[in-house]
Structure 1
Amino acid sequence: MISVERIKPSSPTPHHLRTYNISLLDQLMPCAYVTLVLYFFSDGDDNGNRVQHLKESLSQTLVTFYPFAGVIRDALSADCNDQGLPLYVIKVNAQMRDFLQNPNVELINKFFPGEYGECGRDKLPGPGDSTMLIQLNCFECGGISTSIVFCHSIADLVSISTFLRCWASYARGLEFDHVSPLICAAQSSFPQKPSLPETLVPFNNILKYSSPAKFVTRRYIFDASVLSILKAQLVSSSTGATPSRVDVVTAVIWKCFMEAVAEESAGKDPKPYVMAHAVNMRRRAAPPFLEDSFGNFVWTPVVVCNNPQEKKLTELVWEVKKGVANIDGKFVRRLGSDGLFEFLEGLRKEMPQQAKLLGITSWSNMGLCEVDFGWGKPVWLSGSVADNSESETVGNGNFVTLIDTSDGGIEACAIFDHKYVAEFEKNDHIRKYARVNPSVI
């Protein structure tokens, strides 16, 4: 480690903003840390100057994004008394190009900040913990990977993208280019409900399907040319509509996952399959919320399948799309209605008692690939990966993150129960359409 310090806002946070109350939508998110790493090439040995420049521009950014310079007070609020954002600077004795040519994904967790990294990716934030931590990993070649750890009950990834692009604009000296977020947008539209029962929090009802296992991380690349072919093959016969890249990859992965589980579980009592797909509600509300609205504007609809082997990919992709399309203006309005508890109870009762879960989230089209601190856009993005452990954990297993690639394709970073991986990768759809664990560059 080179250094660790708390970066404070360059101007004090006003007293009337020093308590940040989360919104109802924040309450509905898991109180957990979420991780993101951006990898930047940069030749030369002036990392010291770059790091200092990043510290100064981060301090400017925290004036606007003051909740990230605070700590968690309790389940419903954060103290924004300018305690400062923990920033770790680490020297990596390796060339970034060597790492990206043959990425050992098990090393990614080492890029995360101290108090998070020391406790592992299952650390849960509690009172007194930072709402965000950052680590700058400085490679011998001058490249830097910037890792972000943030509390999900404070913000979603769209908010993090806005934060990063604002920070990058300050780093480039472009004050006019930075986006000022609507910090109180979620609170004003969806005020918190302290009496909300834990049994009605949707994520709690989804996580009941999780079970301990030994998890491994695998990467599957769906190139742009492949996705174009798949999209053409999966056009709706009734409407002529074309599925999106994310729809297509989601359907392929879910189908192959279900078939792998069914093969491994042959002879056992069959369970329904549930796919939970995180959706950004900003664009789906009527009228829509602005993209720079801060906080959580996320819902995770579920799609249920009872007969994966009988379900054609053409059918599955449109069931996935329908599940996402149900999150519309009417749905968003019901979240802000007086009958919220009854609405959530109705959704809870629709969930199967037992099921095999696959979670999917998409980072596509969020602007993360546009972040530029002055030495170019990121060459790769990654999140947390499975711990390299022989012991069984619950964690975030059977979970897939979809990330844009530079050619317009999609990388699916999957954390799977190890016993499903062999069957999953033998599936004809994976063998035909995906590249497994390739070089990043």
Structure 2
Amino acid sequence: MGASIFPQMDLPIPMLPVDLIQGEAVLKRFVFEAPKITALREKAISASVPNPTRVESVTALIWKCAMSASRSNLGVPRKAVMSLGVNIRKRLVPALPDSYGGNYVGIISPRMEDQDDLELQGIVSRIRKDLTEFGEHYAKITQGGDISLAICKTVEDFGKMAMSKDIDYYNCTSWCNFELYGADFGWGKPTWLSPVFTIELKNVVFLIDTRDGDGIEAWISLSPEDMALFESNKELLEFSAANPSVSV
């Protein structure tokens, strides 16, 4: 019975090398309050992206500062790719409701070449371009086709690119707009939420809403050398606070 509902599928997906995501790392928390995000979004506006979102703007700034730290430590420019999870429910034809269960997530992988300037507007434009193209492409390949195969194809394409030895790999996960602070499992709503990292992961960014729903908490894991430069970046500190106290 189960096999008729969930038939076995041959989905060969390349595994990323362990050292691509694991290694000595420092995990730190940065909080972007709503007024700072508003100012950051204004700074990120360009002709190609006149309406950058909260997540696009914060992700772009973090990626910019992380790439800058890596380039400074290496002494040379280096290519970089960012893995960004995308909720594909609204990108299917017809669209699925937000409450639809299952891990319906795809991946976009904006890339910066070694000769690219690390400019905020350009990075936001790169993220938006990949997101737009992903949506257009995904709507086409899922019409009349198998959704699972389409999801795996995007993962496979990203994996092949990320395994290149001459590129810095970053991974960003956003739980923004999930309304997690509204969850009540019988002992009241949470006063503060945070991700859990059970192993050392480097070049990882995790975004989650602040309790008021307007700000963003960013948990960022980088190598010790990169974090030392990252956390002192003046542009980053212009828009965020490093590990402020949590009010309860």
Counterpart-to-counterpart distance in 2, 1:359 and 1:275 = 6
The answer to whether structure 1 residue 254 and structure 2 residue 66 are counterparts is: no
Counterpart-to-counterpart distance in 1, 2:115 and 2:30 = 21
| Cα shift at 1:252 | 0.3
Contact 1:281 1:332 in 2 (8 A): no
Contact 1:209 1:357 in 2 (8 A): no
| Cα shift at 1:246 | 0.4
Give runs of aligned pairs for residues 13-412 of structure 1, distance below 5 A: 19=2, 194-199=9-14, 204-205=15-16, 210=20, 212-238=22-48, 241-266=50-75, 270-307=77-114, 310-328=117-135, 330-334=137-141, 337=145, 347=157, 351=161, 353-354=164-165, 355-373=167-185, 376-385=188-197, 395-407=200-212, 408-412=214-218
Counterpart-to-counterpart distance in 2, 1:358 and 1:425 = 17
The aligned counterpart of 1:416 is: 222
The percent of aligned pairs where both chains have the same amino acid is: 30
Contact 1:219 1:437 in 2 (8 A): yes
| Cα shift at 1:348 | 5.5
Counterpart-to-counterpart distance in 1, 2:210 and 2:20 = 30
| Cα shift at 1:320 | 1.1
Deviations 1:242-293 (A, max 9, x none): 11100010000000000011111115xx541010011111122222111222
Higher relative CO (Cα under 8 Å, sequence separation at least 6) belongs to 2
Counterpart-to-counterpart distance in 2, 1:347 and 1:280 = 18
Deviations 1:354-374 (A, max 9, x none): 321110010111121211245
Counterpart-to-counterpart distance in 2, 1:411 and 1:424 = 16
Contact 2:91 2:138 in 1 (8 A): no
Contact 1:276 1:302 in 2 (8 A): yes
Contact 2:107 2:155 in 1 (8 A): no
Deviations 1:354-398 (A, max 9, x none): 3211100101111212112455421111111365xxxxxxx5321
Taking only aligned residues, the RMSD between alpha carbons, in angstroms, comes to 3.1
Deviations 1:44-73 (A, max 9, x none): xxxxxxxxxxxxxxxxxxxxxxxxxxxxxx
Q: Secondary structure at the match of 2:111?
A: strand
Contact 2:204 2:222 in 1 (8 A): yes
Counterpart-to-counterpart distance in 2, 1:324 and 1:273 = 17
TM-score, normalisation: structure 2: 0.84
Q: Secondary structure at the match of 1:372?
A: coil
| Cα shift at 1:309 | 6.6
The more displaced of 372-381 and 297-306 is: 372-381
Q: Secondary structure at the match of 1:380?
A: coil
Counterpart-to-counterpart distance in 2, 1:397 and 1:312 = 23
Contact 1:386 1:415 in 2 (8 A): no
TM-aligned CA distance change 1:344 to 1:224, over 3 Å: closer
Unaligned runs of 5+ in 1: 1-15, 22-186, 388-394
Counterpart-to-counterpart distance in 1, 2:134 and 2:79 = 22
**Which structure has the larger Rg over C-alpha atoms?**
1
Contact 2:86 2:106 in 1 (8 A): yes
Q: Secondary structure at the match of 2:90?
A: coil
Counterpart-to-counterpart distance in 2, 1:266 and 1:238 = 31
Q: Secondary structure at the match of 2:9?
A: coil
Contact 1:217 1:386 in 2 (8 A): no
| Cα shift at 1:212 | 4.7
| Cα shift at 1:332 | 4.6
Counterpart-to-counterpart distance in 2, 1:300 and 1:252 = 19
TM-aligned CA distance change 1:193 to 1:316, over 3 Å: farther
The aligned counterpart of 1:38 is: none
Aligned residues: 241
